[in-house]
């Protein structure tokens, strides 16, 4: 920030910061929806309804409760980290 700030710099910077933050919030909401769906949804609440679907020797809900939700959690974090790196660069706030 060596250049002197013009009169419009602060509002512009704030607009950019707001855009960055709302992009982040949208991404978080998307990821948490999946986080909720695989564990609380498939693993607990929807299990009785989906008991007919088998993954190997166990039903879908059981598999998500003991295996699938964990794999999804890992994928979600790496997905979020990668997308955030891109969003950081797009808004010029990367390290």
Q: Which residues bind other proteins (CB under 8 A)?
A: 17, 20-21, 24, 28, 31-32, 35, 39-40, 43-45, 47-48, 55-59, 62-63, 65-67, 69-71, 73-74, 76-78, 80-81, 84-85, 88, 92-95
Residue 4 or 84 with smaller CB distance to other proteins: 84
- Spatial separation of the C-alpha atoms in residues 95 and 92, rounded to whole Å: 9
In whole angstroms, the minimum distance from the beta carbon of 84 to other proteins comes to: 6
Q: At what angle do helices 69-90 and 9-36 cross, to 10 degrees?
A: 170
Residue 4 or 92 with smaller CB distance to other proteins: 92
Query: What are the phi and psi torsion angles at 55 (to 5°)?
Result: -115, 105
Q: Taking the mean position of all CA atoms in its chain, how far away is CA 62?
A: 24
In whole angstroms, the minimum distance from the beta carbon of 10 to other proteins comes to: 12
What are the helix (H) ranges across 1-95? 9-36, 60-63, 69-90
Residue 48 or 52 with smaller CB distance to other proteins: 48
């Amino acid at each position: 920030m060596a250049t002197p700030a013009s009169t419009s710099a602060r509002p512009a910077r704030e607009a950019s910061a707001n855009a960055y933050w709302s992009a982040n919030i949208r991404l978080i909401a998307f990821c948490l929806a999946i986080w909720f769906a695989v564990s609380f949804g498939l693993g607990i609440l929807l299990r009785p309804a989906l008991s007919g679907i088998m993954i190997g020797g166990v039903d879908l809900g059981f598999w998500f409760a003991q295996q699938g939700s964990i794999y999804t959690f890992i994928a979600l974090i790496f997905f979020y980290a990668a997308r955030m790196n891109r969003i950081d660069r797009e808004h010029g706030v990367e390290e």
